[in-house]
Structure 1
Amino acid sequence: MEDSLGVMIKKAHNALSRDSDHYAKTLGLTGMQISVINFIANNEQHHDLFQRDLELEFNIRKATCSSLVSKMVADDLLVRAPVKDDGRYKRLLLTPKARQLATQIEAFFEASEQRMATILGAETHLTYEGLRQIAVAFTTPTRAPESW
């Protein structure tokens, strides 16, 4: 298959990941860590955030998320705080260290979004919607046809 949409999506994903990893490295972090900081900073005012929210937002497995959060707690980027009504649940809060970085991280992601919007031009909304539909459709695994 010469013009594979899946391959091109993978190449675009890799390029974006490398770009964010490169920027994160300048802060002494990983690309995933800056994504988590950005996500929490943008959503914490709306509701409490838990590890499960990260699993869903970034489509990562429970064990992966647990390692990520533990590492971020050890690096003084996150704190696990018990919920008042139920001590079993631990909400995730940014530390002052992470909060200081959040503004810079937000600016980086805004610049990246602007670069993509400039490249896509008027097609930005259609591209976003198409990729959203692909993400939803492929989140639930389908059974492979017998001919595979």
Structure 2
Amino acid sequence: MQNKEPILMMKKVINLFFRELDAMNTEQLQVPVSGHNMIVIEYLIHHTEPVYQRDLENHFFVRRSTVSKVLRLMEEKGMIARLPVHDDARLKQIVLTDYGRKIHEAAVGNVKVLEEKLFRNFSEEETETLRRLLMKLEHNMEEVD
């Protein structure tokens, strides 16, 4: 019998979504593009103010070592650049390269295709209910005791 625990189900759906997105992006762009890469690219696209590693750590609730590894690989692939900050030699501003923007353009269509697949049997009301429930879960996890 399959386990139907909500947490495990969410994890499975997320894994399936990103596995398929990774495959679509890699096939279309002819280079490996991970879900983590896409999340960072999406974050950078939508932030006009300077972005630093600690911003990503705080926003995504991940460890410094994890973000550092993802950024290092993205920089090696030419998706981002880390620029020195004049006031503080320890800080590096993270910016998308033209190649990173090209990846974003290609991936946006792939995400839309997968979102349509994911929600194809949902009514608008069900989608909104899911959104509200996920917001509650997020709030519960962020709440400080």
How many percent of aligned residue pairs carry the same amino acid? 24
Deviation, 1:106, is 1.7
CA distance in structure 1 between the partners assigned to 2:71 and 2:54 by the alignment? 11
TM-score, with structure 2 as normaliser: 0.79
Which of 118, 131, 135 matches 1:132?
135
Q: In structure 2, what is the equivalent of residue 102 of structure 1?
A: 104
The one-letter amino acid of 1:106's match is V
Task: Return 5+ residue gaps in structure 2 as ranges.
Answer: none
Deviations 1:24-53 (A, max 9, x none): 332312221122222212x133x2212122
Whether contact under 8 Å (1:24, 1:34) holds in the other structure is no
The one-letter amino acid of 1:12's match is V
Greater relative contact order (Cα < 8 A, sep 6+): 2
Q: In structure 1, what is the equivalent of residue 73 of structure 2?
A: 71
Give secondary structure in 1 for the equivalent of 2:82: strand
Give secondary structure in 2 for the equivalent of 1:14: helix
CA distance in structure 2 between the partners assigned to 1:49 and 1:76 by the alignment? 17
* Alpha carbons of structure 1 residues 5 and 141: separation in structure 2 relative to 1, 3 Å: farther
* Alpha carbons of structure 1 residues 2 and 44: separation in structure 2 relative to 1, 3 Å: closer
Deviation, 1:131, is 1.4
TM-score, with structure 1 as normaliser: 0.78
CA distance in structure 1 between the partners assigned to 2:137 and 2:100 by the alignment? 32
- Alpha carbon RMSD of aligned pairs, Å? 2.6
Written as runs of structure 1 = structure 2, the 5 A alignment for 1:27-106 is 27=29, 28=31, 29-41=33-45, 43-45=46-48, 47-106=49-108
How many residues in Structure 1 have an aligned counterpart in Structure 2?
A: 140
Whether contact under 8 Å (2:82, 2:92) holds in the other structure is yes
